[in-house]
Amino acid sequence: NNNNNNNNNRKGPNPLTRNYESNGPDVKIRGSAQQIAEKYATLARDSHSSGDRVMAENYLQHAEHYNRIIAAAQAQMPIQNTQQNRDDFDDDGDEDRDDFDNSGNNSNAASDVQIPVVNHGAGPQPVI
């Protein structure tokens, strides 16, 4: 039964540019995750300056939620960029273009990205 298989390997919307609708404690905010996080931070600052520390903390927690969405999306960006850079090789196996600075070093930003290596327990194990 393949009812939920309509999105075969299709990427979802970009969380950084997607529009959200947030129902806060006494306000409804619409916009990107960045816009909503900034608005909640502003509301928290205003609440704090007016002496309402409880409401300020509530707004900060809402802002933190959207900041986590932003951080998670940005953490996925280098992985997607390195996968796209693998497609930048021509038939000879070398890159179509070389970015060298005056010192002769490759200044291609994608080559500076370090991908963590996960060995899933295949390495040496501690003695217990």
pLDDT (0 to 100) of residue 77? 78
Q: pLDDT tens for residues 66-87?
A: 999 999 999 887 766 666 665 5
Q: Which neighbouring-strand residues pair with 30?
A: 21
pLDDT (0 to 100) of residue 109? 47
pLDDT above 70: residue 18: yes
pLDDT (0 to 100) of residue 115? 57
Q: Which neighbouring-strand residues pair with 29?
A: 22
Tell me the residue type at 28. K
Q: pLDDT tens for residues 85-114?
A: 655 555 555 555 555 455 545 444 444 555
DSSP 8-state symbol, 107: -
Distance set, CA 74 to CA 3, 57, 70, 92 (Å)? 31, 25, 6, 32
* Average pLDDT value for residue range 112-117: 56
Contact 59, 71 (CB under 8 A): no
Q: How many CB atoms lie within 10 A of CB 78?
A: 15
- Tell me how far apart the alpha carbons of residues 70 and 34 are, in angstroms, rounded to a whole number: 7
* Average pLDDT value for residue range 49-78: 93
Taking the model in full, what pTM does it have? 0.54
- Taking the domains of the chain in order of start, what are their residue ranges? 12-88
* Average pLDDT value for residue range 118-122: 56
